Amino acid sequence: MAAPSAPLLVVGLQFCAPHVLLLTLAMKYNGRCTVDDANGAAVLRMEEVSFFSFRRHYVLVDAAGVPVISLKAKARHVYIRWSVFRGDSHDAGDLLFTATASSGGRWPFRGLDVFLAGNTRRGAADFRTKGDFRRSGYFYLGNSDKMIASISYHQHKSANI
């Protein structure tokens, strides 16, 4: 029997679990969202930092209000690229990954290609997402069919992750 592989750390060990986690994603009408655990306790919260700006900027904070990651959008015509940084940083040295629409930026977006910071050639994505994310979404390792996470939406616009 093969030994279990070590987790691939993108953000931090505290966000890795050897078992399925039931989390609820609640989208708010103001664009914010919260992630709650099975007991209803807030685990993560998304805050929009630059509401009146052409460049969208969000910060994901943990239950204590400490910034976990910051997301910054860069749009060129219909092509959108998200850059995700550690904490509330925007320094190139704190870049964790970038994400672009799998469709090459064409509407409708049916998934994302995710490139870790070390993948500068961007020949093949390190992770992929598929789905419309209104009903369901799936996360895959690279260009393989190995699913590593899924989201299924239920009534009240919540999702189990």
Asked whether residue 54 is assigned to any structural domain, the reply reads yes
Asked whether residue 34 is assigned to any structural domain, the reply reads no
Rounded Cα distance between 1 and 4, Å, is 9
By the 8 A CB rule, do 97 and 81 touch? Answer: no
Which residue in 106, 107, 102, 154 sits closest to 128, CA to CA?
A: 102
Asked whether residue 81 is assigned to any structural domain, the reply reads yes
- Token pair of 38, please? 């099975």
pLDDT at position 120 is: 83
Asked whether residue 97 is assigned to any structural domain, the reply reads yes
Task: Out of 24-28, 52-56, 123-127, 147-151, pick the least confident.
Answer: 52-56
What is the number of structural domains in the chain?
1
Asked whether residue 35 is assigned to any structural domain, the reply reads no
What range defines the domain where residue 65 resides? Answer: 47-149
Asked whether residue 21 is assigned to any structural domain, the reply reads no
pLDDT at position 106 is: 55
Asked whether residue 130 is assigned to any structural domain, the reply reads yes
* Chain centroid offset of residue 112 CA: 10
Domain harbouring 88, CATH code = 2.40.160.200
Residue range 84-114, pLDDT digits in tens: 999 988 899 999 999 888 765 555 567 889 9
The pTM (predicted TM-score) of the whole model is 0.78
Those residues whose C-beta lies under 8 Å from the C-beta of residue 67, and which sit 6 or more positions away, are 59, 60, 61, 87, 88
Asked whether residue 14 is assigned to any structural domain, the reply reads no
